[in-house]
Each structure stands twice: as C-alpha cells, then as structure tokens.
Structure 1
C-alpha cells in the first residue's frame, strides 16, 4: 500500500504540454502531472520519458494521468496505482501530437 499520500497536493499545471518536449521540439504520447509541484511531463511510451525523469531528479513520488484525463495516480516509489482525492483541471487547450 502506498505510503506517500501526504505528497499529493492540488496543483496548477506549469505548462500546456510536456515542459521538456515543448522546449526541445519533441512530441509525446500522453501527459503526466506531478501532484507535488505541477510539472507536466510525458509518459514512458513517449521518447523523452520526462515524467519519470522529473521523478528521478526531484523524488516527487506521485503523478496523475493528465492528458487524456485519466483520473488515476501512480507512486513511483511504491510502484502502484494511487487513489487521488481529486482530478487536476486541464490548462487547455493542450496540443496533441500522437
């Protein structure tokens, strides 16, 4: 059972797409938002895997399936799905690349 629920916060997404992909001109498959700081990164099916890279750099453990809105959370440390108390509103429109 995930023990990192205390890291889940209401966040405002920092960008309207993967922050690093937008800077580098890359594309993504799905987006994830960090529920500790609002960083938006791409999923592990995307070339950049920037959501996981954000976790490795910051150790912020909980992400949310953000685009498309999926309503689930994931704890990188415990490697399990997390029930979220709410869903982060999208700052849209979000560009779709794949």
Structure 2
C-alpha cells in the first residue's frame, strides 16, 4: 500500500475537484483524498463517485478520508481499509465549517434519496 502514497502531495482543494468543475456543479456526501497525488473526489455514496473514477483513470488505488476526525485509508485494489498510515501533507480534511453533505447551497433537499447504496 505505501508505494501508492506520496506524503508531500497536497490536496487539490477543499471539495471534490470534479464536482466543482462539472456543469452544472455537483455535490457530495463525503470526500476522499488520493494518497498518491492529492486529488480530492467524492465517495462511492455520492451521486458522481468521483474518487472511484479517479482511481480508474489514474491507477492510484489508495485514498484517505478527507473528513474531519477520520484518519483511515482505503485501498481500492485490495478492497481493504487501514486504520492509519503515513502522515500526509496538510490540510488533512476539508474545512471544519463545510457541511457533509456539501457544499453548502448545492445539496438538494431530497439528497438522501439520491445517494448510492
């Protein structure tokens, strides 16, 4: 797993990079950060599943939760979750005042019915 981690790669931003650039802009449930390059994508429960799409496109199989208070890693190649791992470049999570789901103002009222299960 550690060969898929670059501890100095900074996160791409405070939210899902792909949801932010989509037209129309998307929203997410939770965020995942690529441990190899820092790309921030939305989780598998999110409508667009951009973290998984990044894994498929890049071959970067390891992500870290980008949620406040969560330090786990997940390896898509082995389908395993790890309680911890190497320290990554800050910030370690999205801004604390950013809600989940987010971002504020783009989450539809019926968001719970739109999640992937």
Which TM bucket (shorter chain)?
Answer: 0.7 to 0.9
Higher fraction of strand: 1
Please report the RMSD computed on the Cα atoms of aligned residues, expressed in angstroms. 1.9
Q: Could you tell me which residue of structure 2 aligns to residue 73 of structure 1?
A: 73
State the number of aligned residues: 95
- TM-score of the superposed pair, with normalisation by structure 2: 0.72
Q: TM-score, normalised by structure 1?
A: 0.85
Gaps of 5+ in 1: none
Aligned-pair distance for 1:87?
4.9
Aligned pair 1:5/2:9, yes or no? no
Aligned to 2:64: 64
Q: Which has the larger radius of gyration?
A: 2
In structure 2, runs of 5+ residues without a counterpart are 108-117
Please show how residues 12-91 of structure 1 align to structure 2 within 5 Å. Answer: 12-24=10-22, 25-82=25-82, 83-90=84-91
